[in-house]
Amino acid sequence: MLHITSLDDGLALFKALGSDIRIEIIKLLLENKQMNMNELASSLNITSGALTSHMKKLEACKIVETANVALGHGNQKICSICLDKVIIDFEAPEQLHNIYDTSIKVGHYSDYQIFSTCGLASAHTLLGEVDDARYFAHPNRYEADILWFAKGFVEYEIPNFVPFHQQITQISISAELSSEAPGINNVWPSDISFYLNNVYIGSWTSPGDFGDVRGILTPDWWYDSWNQYGLLKTIVIKDNGVFIDGTKISDKTIQDFHLDYKSTLHFKMAVNEDSEHVGGLTIFGKTFGNYGQDIKVRMHYAPIDET
């Protein structure tokens, strides 16, 4: 997967794709998986020299790759596709003032208590065995880009690097979330509760554990019958309450926490045993699901009011 976050960074790719012949090369390789240079040149009705020029442009952008393979009486150059997805963000960069942004990997939890069904995985492999809570202590858990559990909690320590002598006036936290059903079930409600420094700040009911279509970013090795994607939810703690996607879920305010540049911040997501809907929780990182992000945190700050 290639994630382009600015148009300037994608310029070489756009130029490489701006050719009918190079588009045909990609189509042929998608259809046939692998072809040698002679087969490609014959199918396109162009010379080997012309094909080599086009292939160099596609290789430079890591769209295709070539390898010399010994076959029969000599070597052949075999061509194949090596890029499966391209995601382009058109959002203009924000001009940020008095804002500190950070993100937390899904596997960077500082505390947990979970019950199966459960598991965690990196972009490339499962970490340990599924449905065995012991593996949440796996030494490679920091590489996890997805985790899931039926009930319990995970807690994250939020890095606090706002400047000296500043107070935190607002916190926004966004993450891609869903329920956790045995297998998948798009109608599987789960009450997910949120806590800041062990203070309950509200809850949201996830409607299901989504698997009707494959997640845009979900790796090819991931099972079709497992969680595919979630919903992007944004929790904002402000001076007039706590909101999720603009809907107020609590009367707790940022002032209730007395946060400044010295404060330790712990954010917990939990599925409590006494909830009405105990349907589990799945948290998606940047290589799973649909949104390509870790747990994002934004803190607004202002000088401490000495009065």
- Its pTM stands at 0.75
What domains sit in the chain, N to C, each tagged with a CATH number?
2-87 (1.10.10.10), 94-303 (2.60.120.260)
Residue 12 pLDDT level (bands cut at 50, 70, 90): confident
Q: What's the confidence (pLDDT) of residue 13?
A: 82
Q: What is the DSSP string of 183-252?
A: S-BSS--EEEEEEETTEEEEEEEE--BB-SS--SS--TTS-TTS--B-EEEEEEEETTEEEETTEEEE--
262-290 pLDDT, tens digit each: 999 999 999 999 999 999 999 999 999 99
Q: 20-24, 230-234, 240-244: which range is least confident on average?
A: 20-24
- The CA distance from 15 to 87, in Å, is 16
Cis bond before residue 117 (omega within 30° of 0): yes
Is the pLDDT reported for residue 74 higher than 80? no
Please answer whether residues 241 and 235 qualify as being in contact, where contact means their C-beta atoms are separated by less than 8 angstroms: no
- Give residue 165's region: left, alpha or beta (phi > 0; psi -120 to 50): left
131-160 pLDDT, tens digit each: 999 999 999 999 999 999 999 999 999 999
Query: Once rounded to an integer, what is the mean pLDDT over residues 30-41?
Result: 88
